[in-house]
Amino acid sequence: MTPELILYHAPLLLERGGDAVAIRCGRIVAVGRSEEVLRLRGPGTELLDLEGRPLLPGFFDAHLHFLQVGLDRVFYVDLSQAGSLSQALELLVRAGKARPGGWVVGRGWDESVWPERRYLERLDLDRRLPNQPVVAMRVDGHLAVANTLALARCLRPEGELVDRARGHLWEEAAEELLACAQPDRETLVEAAAAASRLAASLGITAVADMGGPQVLPTLQLAETRGLLRTRVFLYLPREELDRLAGLGIRRGFGSELVRIQGLKEVFVDGSIGARTAALTSPYADGEGQGELLLTREELATLLRGAERAGLQVAIHAIGDRDIEEAISACELARVSPGARHRIEHLELPTPAQLQRMRDLGLVASMQPNFAARWSGPGKLYETRLGRDRDAVIDPHAWVAEAKLPLAFGSDGMPIGPLFGLPGAISPPHPAQRLPWEVAFRAYTSGGAYAVFAEGELGKIAPGYLADLVVLSAGPSQAPWEELQVDMTFLSGQLIYERT
């Protein structure tokens, strides 16, 4: 049983003792001190001296929209950085050339920062891109501009949110047209490959995907072609319950890299930024308290059905009111603590709610990058919620005190554990600070636990899958901004190396 690979002089960041790992057939076969582990080597063993750089389990992004991450790179054209109308056009033209005849979809243009000071119009697009459909959404998401070929897909009468002369579409009209511009299967596979490469470069070896109906066939194809280098645990739309139950598909079903885990359910559609998260008292800077999309009875019915089918449910709940509904629905359904249903986001829970979550065996799936980006004096959350509620938003320390299983993810805003972790390790409100070891565990073994994979992922120990990350230094050895992912391994294969 000679190992194929030994990584040594690699202090284990999250385990006690040991600075070497032996790998065989994609799994860890031995862990210990370098001298001991090196003794296991045979003639074919590859040896890799990491020269003191720390080794940790691959990061697990517990909440991601995997294909979206890839589509942002290979399909959508980011116009938010365009400094002028002609620059925006140039970006669209470049994307059009890369995909002759296919849809070109731009996002994020903002004429208020352009010297031309006017909207993009149909004729601008027609002149430069006459042979393929083009649509581009303004930064606010309320107005889209389309060329003649794209406008031909718009079935609305003139005047009903449509101005054909200028090629402008508003609100639902814009969304309907964007829905026509779906990427084809090949583009989706390309997106999966791009997302996987990006994930590897960030040290991510597994994700829980909150994707839509395209995700399963796309990922299967990407895996078959050897383009997928990420373990993806899927949470499918709740509408799939009957089909999954009918086929007898239970959580854990799938291939080496793609597994069906359960269903996702959304209590509120949106966020605190969009003032759509449901609160018990109103937003500080606007009307309303957010709308719930379903009742607790409906959610309880889904939970019961999912448990009968052997599936997990990931409930998206953000504000104190939707969190209350989510927990009450779990109580109403008498969920089994062993089912490990999850609450996603969980931004404004009370300590009492966290206790009830603990009793129900629920997992807290949180995104520390939200606090890093939007919480603190003068930032978005303080504006929307006021200072008191901002001070207790994303309460990672409370979650840890309540001894809730905690899984960290990014929701793709942006993807990247090293970007997000400071939101937990050095948060804007210090009372919610987590020790870095606890935060790193939430981003590794925490994600594994949340998908019932804690027996083979998220830990460096014999028998575990050799999904590993080498950092340039440990968090106590170098300033945080200097930390980098140097190498990423999936099943013992090097899938990323920083150059």
Which stretches of the chain bind Zn ion, using CB under 5 A? 210, 411
Cα-Cα-Cα-Cα torsion 254, 65, 436, 10, nearest 10 degrees, comes to 50
Of 394, 405, 475, the residue nearest 433 (C-alpha):
394
The contacts found for 98-103 with CB under 8 angstroms, 24 or more apart, are 99/132, 99/187, 100/131, 100/132, 101/131, 101/132, 102/132, 102/184, 102/187, 103/132, 103/133, 103/134, 103/135, 103/150, 103/180, 103/181, 103/182, 103/183
Nearer to Zn ion among residue 386 and residue 414 (C-beta): 414
Tokens of 14: 């999250």
Among the listed residues 1, 96, 11, the one whose alpha carbon sits nearest the alpha carbon of residue 53:
11
Q: What is the C-alpha to C-alpha distance for residues 264 and 63, in angstroms, rounded to an integer?
A: 11
Compute the distance between CA of residue 446 and CA of residue 458 in angstroms, rounded to an integer: 8
Can you tell me the distance from the alpha carbon of 215 to that of 66, in angstroms, rounded to the nearest whole number? 8
CB nearer to Zn ion: give 208 or 292. 208
Nearer to Zn ion, 145 or 415 (CB): 415
Among 54, 29, 67, 35, smallest CA distance to 491 is for 29
**Token representation of residue 447:** 């994600």
Q: Contacts from 473-479 at CB under 8 Å and sequence distance 24+?
A: 473/53, 473/54, 474/11, 474/13, 474/54, 475/425, 475/436, 475/440, 476/436, 477/54
C-alpha to C-alpha distance for 311 and 451, rounded to whole angstroms: 11
Pairing of strands 46-49, 5-8: parallel
